């Protein structure tokens, strides 16, 4: 991460921490669908995050992954924004594409470049590794397109990825679907961020699976 961007992210992170300190933290965690326990120094919450659990201590704001990996500053910001924004609204509405989320249509080219194009390039002619990677990350298989699955990015933020495989006549295409309630759980600018984080995980998992196949 370049220093200038790191500085901006650090400022956003500090603001989110300060904001949560001022809130009714237990109310926020309940609205976000999180389990938590009271500790001597505050609260300890467990945040299901893709295929891992992030333990968050409040008000110290220490983050620990169940996988023992580093929790990036960007991920920390998204997790805090999720807790701050969560309304407790129910899921289950008809899924909608990114461009149909109110306020985001004009950002679609950015979303396409950062999220869809990398996946399309990697899996456009290989739906099986796309599906395998998604399921390996704990995704739920869907029946859309030529291959699809839903990842639970956060407890109340499912993201569905759909691939239409390319052939001699048609190029491959890929799109995502969201529950309409996503704007009740994440700020608009974080929706592309969480989608990019999901895309990166799918690509990484596919590489690991391919390496395992070569090793066998």
Q: Quick one: average pLDDT of 164-180?
A: 93
What average pLDDT is seen over the chain? 94
E strands, the chain, are 35-39, 42-49, 52-58, 62-65, 96-97, 140-141, 147-154, 157-164, 173-178
Tokens at 95, concatenated? 């899924």
Tokens at 208, concatenated? 């690991």
Instruction: Give the CA dihedral 8, 11, 16, 21, nearest 10 degrees.
Output: 170
- Of 49-53, 169-173, 187-191, give the lowest mean pLDDT range: 169-173
Contacts of 207 (CB under 8 A, 6+ apart): none
- pLDDT tens, 178-204? 999 999 999 999 999 999 999 999 999
Q: Is the peptide bond before 108 cis (omega within 30 degrees of 0)?
A: no
- pLDDT tens, 24-47? 999 999 999 999 999 888 999 999
Question: Is the C-alpha dihedral spanning 15, 9, 114, 210 positive or negative?
Answer: negative
């Amino acid at each position: 991460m370049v220093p200038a961007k790191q500085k901006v992210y650090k400022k956003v992170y500090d603001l989110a921490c300060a904001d949560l300190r001022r809130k009714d933290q237990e109310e926020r965690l309940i609205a976000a669908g999180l389990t938590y326990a009271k500790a001597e120094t505050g609260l300890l919450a467990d945040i299901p995050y893709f295929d891992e659990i992030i333990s968050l201590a409040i008000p110290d704001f220490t983050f620990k992954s169940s996988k023992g990996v580093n929790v990036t500053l960007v991920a920390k910001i998204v997790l805090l924004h999720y807790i701050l924004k969560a309304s407790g609204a129910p899921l289950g509405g008809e899924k909608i594409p990114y461009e149909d989320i109110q306020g985001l249509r004009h950002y679609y080219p950015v979303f396409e470049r950062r999220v869809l194009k990398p996946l399309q390039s990697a899996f456009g002619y290989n739906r099986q590794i796309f599906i395998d990677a998604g399921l390996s990350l704990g995704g739920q298989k869907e029946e859309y397109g030529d291959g699809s699955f839903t990842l639970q990015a956060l407890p109340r933020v499912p993201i569905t990825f759909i691939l239409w495989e390319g052939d001699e006549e048609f190029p491959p295409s890929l799109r995502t679907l969201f529950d309409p309630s996503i704007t009740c759980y994440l700020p608009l600018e974080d929706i592309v961020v969480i989608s990019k984080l999901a895309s990166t995980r799918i690509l990484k998992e596919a590489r690991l699976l391919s390496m395992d196949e070569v090793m066998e």
